[in-house]
Amino acid sequence: MDIDLARAWVQAIAAAVDQRKDHLTQLDSAIGDADHGVNMHRGFSAVTTALDGTDPDTVGALLVKVGTTLVSSIGGASGPLYGSAFRAIGKMLDAPRATPQEFAHALAPGLDAIRKLGAATPGDKTMIDAYTPALAAFQQQAHAGADLAAAALAAADAAEDGLRATTPLQARKGRASYLGARSIGHPDPGAASTALIFRALAETAVAR
């Protein structure tokens, strides 16, 4: 992971969110406030604008900028959660380039930041259910010597499996938890956007 790849990853997230914003909103309309797609689109549009005017000298500086922008521009819970995750990841990457192993190590504090802020655990039907298996898959591949693309592909597949696994769950955190058993049968929108972020990483890394 270098600065150019990190920038391309974030641009790919923004493009994917733009393409999928209506789908994310549809998911959120079933069990949430029907604003997840709109909020994510607003946030990553702001990120794209913010990065256009910056020339960071480390991968971490770029990702911290992403996180800070998300916190200030996304409404609801998504801004603080994703913003804190990107800032936590960035703070671990104080160099112009990171190995797959170093990036795997940095992804862990991102998950910890979401857990701390959202007080969620696996099985609560949140973005944690996509991030947790994605992190485990990335770490496994990276520590086995895989390159970034292979590790990211494994993480994206695991995140999407985690997303699908939220469908039969009853939500125990967030707005969806107010629905009780009525939240069963719907995939979690936060897990969907998390899977989108990891898929964007994989596609960007493969393209390099």
Domains of the chain, each with CATH number or no CATH: 3-207 (1.25.40.340)
pLDDT digits (tens, 9 = 90+) for 102-125: 999 999 999 999 999 989 999 999
Start-end of H helices in 53-188: 59-73, 78-91, 100-118, 128-143, 148-165
Q: What is the pLDDT of residue 174?
A: 80
Q: How confident is the model at residue 208 (pLDDT cuts 50, 70, 90)?
A: confident
Q: What is the pLDDT of residue 27?
A: 94
CA 182 to chain centroid: 26
Query: What is the residue-averaged pLDDT of the chain?
Result: 95
Residues 170/160, Cβ–Cβ less than 8 Å? no
Strand, helix or coil for residue 118: helix
Q: Would the pLDDT of 69 be above 90? A: yes
pLDDT digits (tens, 9 = 90+) for 138-185: 999 999 999 999 999 999 999 999 999 999 999 998 878 878 888 899
Q: Would the pLDDT of 76 be above 80? A: no
